Each structure stands twice: as C-alpha cells, then as structure tokens.
Structure 1
Amino acid sequence: MIRRWPAVAARQWQARIGWQVGCNFTPSCAINQIEMWQEASFDLAVIERELDLAAGLGMNAVRVYLHDLLWLEDAEGFLRRIEIFLAAAWRRGIRTLLVLFDSCWNQEPTLGPQQAPLPGVHNSGWVQSPGPAVLADASQHPRLQAYVEAVVGRFADDDRVLAWDIWNEPDNGPDVALCDPETLAAKAALVLPLLSHAFDWARSQRPTQPLTSGIWLGDWSSRHLLSDIQAVQVARSDVISFHNYGDAADFVRRIRWLRAFRRPLLCTEFMARPTGSTFEAILPIALKYGVAAFCWGLVKGKTQTHLPWDSWATPYLDGPPGPWFHDIFEADGTAHDPAEVEFIRMLTAVGTAPADPAQLAA
C-alpha cells in the first residue's frame, strides 16, 4: 500500500503554493454537479464568466464537485470537460480542488435533465455521489474504483489540480443526508470501508497533489474524540481539511485543535453570514494561521444557496429575511455587498505570497 505523504512533504507543498483562498464553485446555470458537467448542460460561457468574477476577487482556487454517474455514462467526455474546466480556471490563475464523492442532500441521483429548483429552498436539487443504493450494492463498487482511478490517473501530475477531496461529509446527518437516524447509522457502516478504499484507489495513481477529506462536526480537541469515520479521514489525509460555519472564536478554536496534526490546514467550507461566519470575521484569521479558505458559493443561481438551510423546513418564497446566507454576486455580476467584495480583494492582495516554511513548521 502506498502511504500518505510525510508531514514535511505536506508542508513543502504548502510553502510552494502559498495561501489558497477561493470558493465552492457551481455555475449559476446548474442546480447540482450533474447538471454542471453533463454534455447537454455544460455551459462554458457561464463558467468562464463566473470564473472571471472569482479571479476579480483575487481568488486563486475553487473547489468543484464531480459525480460518479458522469463517468459511468460518458467517461471520455466527462474527462474532456474536466480538462476544459481546469484550463479555463488556470488561465485565470486558479487551481481546482476536485471532490470525488459526496454524502449530502438527495439520495437518488439520476442522469439526464435535472429537476427545477424548489421555490424558496436552499440547494433543493443537490445529489449524493454515490447514492445509498450503490453504497449497499457491492457489485457496483468496482465501477466506483474504476471512476476514482480514471479521474485521478488522468490528472495525477497536473499542477492545475490543487488537491483531491476524496469524500465530502461522509458522515452527514439526517438534516442534510435526508435520511432518518436509523438509516444514517446503516449508511455510515457502508461508507466507512469505502472511504478507506477510496483513499487507496486514489493513491494507487501516485498523484503529485495531496489527498484529503474534511471533518466537520463534533469535538476534535483529542484524537480519542474522533468518530470512526473522522479517524479515517484524518489518518489517511496528506493535508487536513475541515468545514466550519461558526463565528471567529469557534474558527480559531478548531484551527488550534487541528494544528496538533502538524500538517497544512484547509477550511474547504465556510461563510454563512447569519451564523457569524463572514469574510470579515474569518478571512483575517485564515490568513494569520496560513489556513486555506473556501467560502460556499459565488454566484446566486439554481442552487439557491443564498437562502438559509432551514428553508428545507420553511421555504423562503420572498427571499431570505436578511443578508444572503451564502453567495457573493448576482448572476449579472452585481455584488450582494460591495464593501464585502472590497474587503476580500484587500485580503487576497496581501495574502497570496508564498508562506515561510519555518512558520508553517511552528
């Protein structure tokens, strides 16, 4: 078995690429990752226009979700579209963090035309990859292995790829995994071995980019407090990633917990204005500690992530009651908050120089 990177190699990687700041990117024309990537709905003009907005903020990275069904349907076409996206981002000085699997939202992904957004509901059309039915069907696991090996293998030595996010929130709960607690426990039992296998599948391709999978809930102040899934995520990751939608104090606390692993840190999801996770609160801390930071969302669109999470229970048919939950721009490029945009530009202008390796090792 190919082992994960030594900690010193991970810190050298971070020193080479410098501070990474970006967004979780889904073009406004797509309700989910399938609609983003399918040939019939892959809209390069919209993607390039919205990557221009990211570059205009000084962002140098985007986090983008893939889907196993896209490879199953049209492997070469899917890989070609990934290549097109990587090239478009790279022309704008942006590296791409690619997410292979995801346990959030709708449990029955299907190819073809995707549903229309539910009025007033946050992320109503997002789909899991793979769905629980595939997790439970061992006969389909070889195709998941083939998907991971094909995608990672194609781009294993590509500097445009920042890193590989093996599995997004594999342990997500009933509110976002859309299953009851009993089903969730059964699902976690299925995910755990596949999560470990997925790291092996990706690493078998000897990628020059690091592997990771982000922890997101609970107390991480001691290794013995980690769940079984979190223990695998941390033990198998070359760089440690996490999600945090808390305020500045919570963000600092979690950084301090995770620094005990002595590896580079990436916050691959933050920014929910009503929770106190704002650019003004979080980005200066991320810069101070050298933590890569990816906000959720860029342009308001079919995902409707400008609406709060609780819109799943109570749709906001007249829009959010206050500031947007996620996202930064209207589809025409108008900023939701012009002062916020200027703040982001100010931070990225001073923060993207390569880090001092001695500081990273401290």
Structure 2
Amino acid sequence: MSMFLLFLILLAWHHGFAGEVILQDDFEGDLLDSWQVAGGQWLVREGRCTAEGPFSLLVYPQESRRDLEAAADVAYSHNESHAAAGLVFRYDMKDSTGYAVCLREIERGTHPRFGPWERPVLQLFRMDGDGLKLLQESKVMDCRSGLLRRLRVICYGPDIWVFYQDMSEPVLKEYDPQYVRAGLFGLWKDHRGIGLFDNVVVSTVDSVPASPLRTDWSWVRGAVYVRSNAVNSVQMWHDYWDHTDVLDREFFYASCYGFNMVQVYLHWIIWDRHNEEYLRRIDDLLTRVSTYGLKANLIFWDDCGHVEPNLVFADPVPGRHNSQMMPNPSHRIRDSEFAMAGHKERFRDYVVNVTQRFRDDDRIAFWQLYNEGMGARETYRISRTDANLNRLLGWTREWVKATGTPIPVTATGGGFYGPQYSDFYTYHSYGNGTDPLPNTDGGSEHLCTETLNRPHTSLVDCLREFGGKQNGFVVWELMVGRDNCRYPWGHPDGFKEPVSPFHGVVYPDGHPWDMREIQAMLGEKAFAALQERMFQVEYFEGRFHKRKKASITPLIDFDLGDEHGYGSPDASAGIAKDHFSIRWTGKRTVPTTGVYTFYADCDGVLGLWMDQAPVIQKDHPRREEVQGDIELIRDRPYSIRIEYYHPKGDASNHISWSGPGASKRRLRLDD
C-alpha cells in the first residue's frame, strides 16, 4: 500500500467516512486541474482554495452522484454582512439546480463595551431555477470571518444530513424529494466577501443517521396563547384558578375563528413554587383546550424577555412591546456556567415531571424544548451564554426522551440553536411587507411556530403564503391583551396606539381585529355560516355618537378594566377606554315556549330588547347584575338588540339567560 493511499484512508477515517473515497484534495499543489470553474474567480493560495468576486461556483466534473458523503474545511471572509461559503451537491450544470450548504454571517456589529460581534449560521438550500430556497438554518458556535470550520454532508435518497465541527451528530436533518437524482459536487461562495476551502473529501455512503421525521404539519392553524388579562404567561399560571372563565371563553373564540392549536409557554419558577399543583393546572388547561377541539404544544424554555422572573407582576408599560415578558430560565442563570450547573437538578425535576405526567397525552401535539434559543447578541464571540444554552438544550432533549414519550420534540431553528435537538424543523417567519415570507420552502414536514406582524404580514398573508407551500403555522398571538404585543418591536414608550395591532387576532370582548382575516381562515362558505351564529356588533364614540367599527362576536362576556389600551374594546380603532358605547344585534329561537329570564352583569347603562319589547333597562353606571323576564314562543325567530354605554372606570358586561329546563348560561345565538 502506497503512503499516499494510506494518507487518504486515514484522512477519510478521521472525518467519519467509511465509504469508498471518490475525491480528496488538500490543495497543496496550487492547482485546480481536476475541477471546473462554473462561476467567479478561483485560485489556490497558500495551500487553500480561494473564491473571490461575485457568486462563485467550482464543480468536480469527473463524477456524478446521487448519494454521497462530502466534507471540507470552509470559511467566509468579509467586511460586510451576509458573506457565505460552502458546498454544493446533486448539482445539474444544465439548469443550475441541486442543493447547497454554507456558513453565513447574517448580522454583525460593534458593541461599545465588548467590541465586534457576529451572528453566524449554518444553512441548507435547495437550488431551484429561480434561485436559492432556504430549507433549514441554525445558529452555530465558534464561527467567525476567516476561521476555517469543518462541514460534512450526507445525502441518501430524499434525506440530507448536515454536520458542523462535530462529525458524529448532524445539526440539520432534512427530507426533500425534489432532486433525488445524480449530480455534481462542488464548492461555492455567495456574492459578498471571499470563500476559503481546504481538505475536501468525497466518498460513497456506507451508513446513514436516523431519517428525519416526516410528519405532515400542514394542518396546523395555531396561535400563541397568553390569557388576555395577564401581562405574561407566568402570571397566567400563577393566578390560574382565579381566571378559568377567561380561559374558556378565549379557547371558545379560537375554535369559532378557525384555529386548531394553542402554543403555551410553561415556566420553571411556577414548577419550583407549586410542584404537583402546577401539573394539575397544566392538566386542567389541556382539558379546556381539548373541550373546544384544539390541540396544544408546550414550551419548556424561552430566551425572550428582559424582566427577571418573579411572582410579582407589574402593569404593562404603555407603548412597549411585550413589556413584562420573563425569560425562562433567567438570563442571570443562562449566562453563568456556575449558576446553570447549580440549577441542573431543579431544571431536571421540572422537565421530567411535566413530561412524565403527560408522556402519552394526545392533547399535546409536540413539545418545544426551547423557543428562540439564541443568547445575548452583543456577546456572540466572548460570553459563555451560547455554550450554556446548548448545554441546557442537550439536557432537556435527553430528559424528555428518557421518559419514553412518543410525542415529538422541536426547538426553534432559523437563526437559533434548535435544529440539532429537534425531531422536526420549526422556524419563525416575519415579513417585511415586500418580499415573500422567509423560511417557508421546506414543505409540510416543517412548521412555522411564530408569524404575524402587521402591517407587514396579516393573517390573510399568512394563509396565502403558508397554505401555498403546505406549511402549517402558529401566529403570535390569539388575544390582543395586556402583554402589549399589539405594539411593534422597538415602539417608543407612550400612549400612542398603533393603527393596527402588531400581534393578536381577537380582542378580549370576542371580536376579531379584521373580519377579512377570519373569512380567509374559514373560507367564504363557512364564514357566511359563522356570521349567522354571531352577534353583529358596532362600536361608537360617546353615547352612540360616531361609529368607529363594526364586527362580530359570539358572546357578550368581558371585563376590560380601566387600563390604557386594554381598557378599550379596540384601541387601534381609535376607541378610548372611557365614554364609549356598543350595540349588539342578532336573531335566535328558543326550544320551548315559556318565560325566559335575561341577566346583565355590567357597569354603565344598558338596555336589552326582544323584537322591540324592553326586557332590561339599567340606567345607572355602577356595576351590578339586573334581570328581566319575557315570554317567548318556540321556534319563532326573535330579534335581539343590546345597547351598552360605558362612562368611565372598569368596563364589564356579561349577558346570560335561563328558561324552561335550562339553567343560567351565557347568551349565544347558536346553542
């Protein structure tokens, strides 16, 4: 055996290859004789292959393969954002189709204290005739401009695995049947910066990792859920039993308006305080969710928010997006290796007890290990945050899987650390108002777990774009409430309301922000049927002076309080929290002839009429429950009109009824 052949075998073994070596090049000869330049400027300099200029592609034309393993040391080098360099495979020179992986720096800057920082990601693209289509993306550690990092790809049939540095565990796992055909291997660089390459090895496939999960998630029409009268999910869990009536009516709204899933944030400090009692609350919430035909997905950890987690809840800050959001765990713990190690067993108890209790629960569609696990942006290069975060992700996956739960797990990709720890790929997709929604090209095996940012992306836009690409999606969020997510990111503090809510679909009184969004959710026929079952509702300034909005609602059942924004039935429509009025109209029949009692538990002035006959007349502003009786005839359609004027203070209105053989319940038009 020659020394050169022995070198090839040892090199392939070192990088995890067990198949037959097809190509090996360490560029020591300063030549590219076996390669073909298909774009850009390529040369060998100091034992490395270098690409300069615009979009650059270098292919190995000697061998066309469908299934292969390939690896190389790769680096981008740049003075501006979005430089990228990587590998191509299954590439067709005739139509420029195939697949590409790369390391890319998607964001960079200089922090006044910590200096330069970068946000590097690992990306997998499908190369279509009309351009690159992003299939998956993950943030990666220990990567920066000019630093060679090892990439490895295995493609076998429709499955693709992408490795970064650690050659034993893939970071990206993709099922894509688009180009299951032979093609060329190559190196590439995007339009900016310089690409650096070394130690290229390509071989046949000897063995493959576990196949990517192929679950169809296209059915998901979900919404993040935070109870509308809570400032964050921690408060929702903390005072849970005091507000189960709110949960019921808001899950009812979700089912009315076409949603089939809620996405709910857990928090370990609630477990740490309540233990078994927290499991009772989770079980109760899942029961209520299921009652309305919904599924749930539950999130263990979350990097968002800047309020130190605690059980004292400040009021929302006017104008500030998600002003009381609490990260989970605390950034103080996340950023300290010592604190993370000290909390490991308490974190384990939380994750294992929750998962074990609901291990086989078909009310749960999937577990989310970590939402937006990214770390502190300004310290990408120097802090321990990223290592700690990845450590917690790894622990959590291990703890969940050890329970034997068959429920799949995921964690956010698309610029975050989640894909390596996920059974299937999830991502977030927010539009800019001009380009298509990003990250949506992976097909039904992928799921968007955050979207909706008006005015750039409405629910109508989500349905068109995700539906067109067979992606399920979860909007942020169901309710427009006290978490202040109606304000956009970066909105200045203050009392100016946005023209349209940034996030949220339904207001606490039950009406949607935009009926066109609900029509798009349900389709024209189902929406027309829904309108027949809904109250038609009109909102006015003052005492029925100037109409501000018309909509629909299934119930008259709300407590708005006296807080800026939340105290209004629709602040973005220009309705103040004081001196507004509402009129509800509709038709319904009764199942039995007899005397029916109507109840109004409300503040303000209220009148209720059945076919113009007055049933309730409340003419003082203090809150109390009043009632009135009327005899109604079976199967005769009656016109209902309710008028309510709220002068000031806490706004509340709850309309109920009872009758022959029926106990007191909320008034609806369809029960």
Q: Name the TM tier (shorter chain).
A: 0.7 to 0.9
Return the alpha-carbon distance in structure 2 between the equivalents of residues 331 and 69 of structure 1.
Answer: 27
Map 1:19-98 to 2 at 5 A.
19-39=219-239, 43-98=243-298
Task: Confirm whether residue 306 of structure 1 aligns to residue 483 of structure 2.
Answer: no
Task: Confirm whether residue 216 of structure 1 aligns to residue 414 of structure 2.
Answer: yes
Distance change in 2, residues 1:254/1:184 (3 Å): farther
Q: In the alignment, which residue of structure 1 is the partner of 2:453?
A: 272
Task: Confirm whether residue 236 of structure 1 aligns to residue 421 of structure 2.
Answer: yes
Q: In the alignment, which residue of structure 2 is the partner of 1:161?
A: 364
Q: Pick one of 105, 111, 121 that aligns with 2:305.
A: 105
Map 1:338-357 to 2 at 5 A.
338-346=515-523
Q: In the alignment, which residue of structure 1 is the partner of 2:330?
A: 131
Q: CA deviation at 1:182?
A: 6.6
* Unpaired runs of at least 5, structure 1: 175-179, 218-228, 351-362
Map 1:269-348 to 2 at 5 A.
269-274=450-455, 276-311=456-491, 314-320=492-498, 322-346=499-523
Greater alpha carbon shift after TM alignment, 282-291 vs 80-89: 282-291
Q: CA deviation at 1:290?
A: 2.6
Q: In the alignment, which residue of structure 1 is the partner of 2:316?
A: 117
Q: In the alignment, which residue of structure 1 is the partner of 2:395?
A: 197
Contact in 2 for aligned 1:19/1:287 (Cα 8 Å): no
Amino acid at match of 2:225: F
Q: In the alignment, which residue of structure 1 is the partner of 2:636?
A: none
Distance change in 2, residues 1:7/1:292 (3 Å): farther
Q: In the alignment, which residue of structure 2 is the partner of 1:358?
A: none
Q: Which has the higher helix share?
A: 1
| Percent of matched pairs sharing the same residue | 27
Contact in 2 for aligned 1:307/1:316 (Cα 8 Å): no
Q: In the alignment, which residue of structure 2 is the partner of 1:149?
A: 352
Contact in 1 for aligned 2:316/2:324 (Cα 8 Å): yes
What's the secondary structure of 1:255's corresponding residue?
coil
Give every structure 1 segment of 4 or more consecutive aligned residues whose post-TM-superposition deviation is greater than 3 Å: 3-8, 39-42, 180-186, 247-253, 347-350
Return the alpha-carbon distance in structure 2 between the equivalents of residues 165 and 347 of structure 1.
Answer: 34
Return the alpha-carbon distance in structure 2 between the equivalents of residues 237 and 189 of structure 1.
Answer: 18
Contact in 1 for aligned 2:453/2:503 (Cα 8 Å): yes
Greater alpha carbon shift after TM alignment, 290-299 vs 239-248: 239-248
Residues 33-74 of structure 1: CA distance to partner in whole angstroms, max 9, x if unpaired?
A: 110101466511111111111101111111000000111111
Contact in 1 for aligned 2:480/2:504 (Cα 8 Å): yes
Distance change in 2, residues 1:250/1:81 (3 Å): farther
What's the secondary structure of 1:64's corresponding residue?
strand
Amino acid at match of 2:515: P
Amino acid at match of 1:69: I
Amino acid at match of 1:20: V
Number of corresponding residues: 317
Q: In the alignment, which residue of structure 2 is the partner of 1:355?
A: none
Q: In the alignment, which residue of structure 2 is the partner of 1:188?
A: 386
Contact in 2 for aligned 1:36/1:42 (Cα 8 Å): no
Q: Which has the higher strand share?
A: 2
Distance change in 2, residues 1:156/1:71 (3 Å): same
Distance change in 2, residues 1:298/1:172 (3 Å): farther
Distance change in 2, residues 1:184/1:60 (3 Å): farther
Q: In the alignment, which residue of structure 1 is the partner of 2:34?
A: none
Q: CA deviation at 1:156?
A: 1.1
Contact in 2 for aligned 1:152/1:205 (Cα 8 Å): yes
Q: CA deviation at 1:284?
A: 2.3
Larger Cα-atom Rg: 2
Aligned-residue RMSD, C-alpha: 2.7
Return the alpha-carbon distance in structure 2 between the equivalents of residues 188 and 347 of structure 1.
Answer: 47
Contact in 2 for aligned 1:60/1:95 (Cα 8 Å): yes
Return the alpha-carbon distance in structure 2 between the equivalents of residues 77 and 65 of structure 1.
Answer: 17
Q: CA deviation at 1:239?
A: 1.4
Distance change in 2, residues 1:216/1:315 (3 Å): farther
Return the alpha-carbon distance in structure 2 between the equivalents of residues 127 and 35 of structure 1.
Answer: 10
